[in-house]
Amino acid sequence: MLDFGKARERMVEIQLASRGVRDTRVLDAMRLVPREAFVLPDFEASAYDDGPLPIGEGQTISQPYVVALMIEAAELQPKDRVLEVGAGSGYAAAVMSRIVDRVYAVERHTVLGKAARERFDKLGYDNIQLHIDDGTKGWPEAAPFDAILVAASGPQPPSSLKQQLAIGGRLVMPVGDEAHMQHLVKIRRTSETDFEEKDLGSVMFVPLIGEEGWSGGSRSSP
Selection from 88, 3, 11, 21 nearest residue 50 by Cα: 11
CA-to-CA distance for 5 and 122, rounded, in angstroms? 18
Known active-site residue 218: no
CA-to-CA distance for 155 and 53, rounded, in angstroms? 24
The distance of Cα 168 from the centroid of its chain, to the nearest Å, equals 20
Q: Checking phi first, is residue 89 left (phi over 0); if not, alpha (psi -120 to 50) or beta?
A: alpha
Phi, psi of 207, deg, nearest 5: -75, 145
With beta carbons less than 8 A apart as the criterion, state whether 171 and 83 touch. no
Helices and strands (DSSP H and E) totals, the chain: 6, 9
* CA 176, 181, 184, 188 torsion-angle sign: negative
**Given 18, 62, 160, 215, which residue is catalytic?**
62
Q: Which residues have a catalytic role annotated?
A: 62
